[in-house]
Amino acid sequence: MADELSLDDIQKSVEAAIGGAVVKVTTDGYYFNVEVVSDAFEGLRAVARQQMVYKALGAYIADGSMHAVNIKALAPDEV
């Protein structure tokens, strides 16, 4: 399952859901690390930012392709 999910798939899903986002995805084979930088996060609390990213990844979580994810969501001035 996790083998079928590519890092590129994750990146494209987040980019499609959060316009203008710069997305970097890595994995250790089990955990996915998703770093997202976007103007859309300006003025939002960390929980709201993570909810935006989780929404983009919802299908992968629901079908079991993605078991564990660590999200880092930053506004451009926080990089």
**Tens-place pLDDT, residues 22-70:** 999 999 888 999 999 999 999 999 999 999 999 999 999 999 889 899 9
Query: What is residue 14's predicted lDDT score, i.e. its pLDDT?
Result: 98
Is it the case that residue 21 has pLDDT exceeding 90?
A: yes
Predicted TM-score (pTM) of the model is: 0.89
Question: Between 59 and 3, where is the model more confident?
Answer: 59
Residue 77 has pLDDT above 70, yes or no: yes
Distance CA 29, CA 9 (A): 15
* 40-to-6, 50, 54 alpha-carbon distances in Å: 25, 12, 15
CATH of 7-78, one of 3.30.300.90, 3.40.50.2300, 1.10.357.10, 3.30.160.20: 3.30.300.90
Domain spans in the chain, listed from the N-terminal domain onward = 7-78
Q: Which two tokens stand for residue 43?
A: 């003025």
